[in-house]
Amino acid sequence: MTDTPMIRMAAVDKHFGELHVLKDINLEVERGQVVVVLGPSGSGKSTLCRTINRLEPVDSGTIELDGRALPAEGKALAGLRADVGMVFQSFNLFAHKTVLENVMLAPLKVRKQDKAAAEKNAVRLLERVGIANQKDKYPAQLSGGQQQRVAIARALAMDPKVMLFDEPTSALDPEMVQEVLDVMTGLAKDGMTMLVVTHEMGFARRAAHRVVFMADGEIVEDSTPDDFFTNPSSDRAKDFLGKILTH
């Protein structure tokens, strides 16, 4: 008996007007697997990530999370999104709430946890991402790396089945990238199912079980990090790696 995959995308297509951003995407992510999506900008990898919790609706095809098809907009979709953690390139912490309130808000309002339990859990998660001492500050008072770690804690507070990372380090100053990657590597080690859109090749090599390479809206390669980096089969992947790894 096989386990149902955590994420299953089958024959997914999407257009932005004339632009065909996702072409017949078929992708499965097993429970506990860390999948890194690589590709040049404009290849559709961010869009792919955003279709999984329906922040971007698709034109056709099926997307299932933990065996359940994505429902249409409404209460059922909100319930399903609550189980999917998402981390954005631009952090998107709630600007009018403190760090602690950011982490507690969804558990209080969506999960209806009581305040004491939500706070205890929030503080524990903030400690885990190394930022508990900043809990009463507002997001704007933190560095980008700190904000992104809070955003990860905020997503984890919902106890998600799977975490989606949409270029989590692309908006960060170079010296802050590592602190965020360390948190993500820790999560991967703990067995979290993760889909990570990134340009961090080091993270892909170290933490990923699988590398998916996209170009022009298609999945071009799907292999282990070792295979992908040492022995890419497609010309587009060779070209991409050549450009990235030479400088």
Partner 1 sequence: MGPVNVLLDNIDLYARGFLGTIELFVVSAIGSLILGAILAAMRVSPVPILRAFGTVYVNILRNTPLTLVIFFFAFAYPRLEIYDLSYFTRACIGLILYTAAFVCEVIRSGVNTVPVGQAEASRALGFTFNQTLSQVVLPQAVRNVVPPLANIQIALLKNTTIAAGFSVTEAGGIYQALSERGANVFVGLLWVAVGFLILVVPLTLLQRNLDRRWSTAR
Residue with tokens 């089945």: 161
Closest contact distance (angstroms) between CB of 219 and partner 1 is: 23
- The structure tokens listed for 66 are 């933990």
Closest contact distance (angstroms) between CB of 90 and partner 1 is: 5
Under 8 Å between Cβ of 36 and 198: yes
Rounded Cα distance, 201 and 222, in Å: 15
Count of residues that interact with partner 1, criterion CB under 8 A: 31
Question: Which pairs count as long-range contacts for 56-62, CB under 8 Å and 24+ apart, including other chains?
Answer: 56/14, 58/12, 58/13, 58/14, 58/22, 59/13, 59/14, 59/15, 60/11, 60/12, 60/13, 61/9, 61/10, 61/11, 61/12, 61/13, 61/24, 61/25, 62/8, 62/9, 62/10, 62/11, 62/12
Among 48, 118, 152, 158, binds partner 1 (CB under 8 A): 158
Nearer to partner 1, 155 or 183 (CB): 155
Closest contact distance (angstroms) between CB of 37 and partner 1 is: 17
Among 110, 159, 189, 231, binds partner 1 (CB under 8 A): 110
Among 68, 109, 206, 243, binds partner 1 (CB under 8 A): 109
Residue 53 touching partner 1 (CB under 8 A)? yes
Residue 90 touching partner 1 (CB under 8 A)? yes
Strand arrangement, sheet containing 7-16: 19-29, 7-16, 60-65, 68-69
Rounded Cα distance, 93 and 135, in Å: 13
Among 20, 23, 31, 82, binds partner 1 (CB under 8 A): 82
Among 40, 64, 105, 218, binds partner 1 (CB under 8 A): 105
The CA-based dihedral angle spanning residues 234, 235, 238, 243, taken in that order and rounded to the nearest 10 degrees: -140
Nearer to partner 1, 68 or 189 (CB): 68
Report helix angle 144-156 to 174-189, nearest 10.
20
- The structure tokens listed for 30 are 């097993």
Among 11, 19, 69, 78, binds partner 1 (CB under 8 A): 78
DSSP 8-state assignment for residue 219: E
Nearer to partner 1, 27 or 151 (CB): 151
Mark 189-208 with x for binding to partner 1 (rule: CB under 8 A) and - for no binding.
--------------------
Among 93, 129, 162, 177, binds partner 1 (CB under 8 A): 93
Mark 3-42 with x for binding to partner 1 (rule: CB under 8 A) and - for no binding.
----------------------------------------
Binding footprint of partner 1 on the chain (CB under 8 A): 53, 55, 73, 75, 78-84, 86, 88, 90-96, 105-106, 109-110, 138, 140-141, 151, 154-155, 158
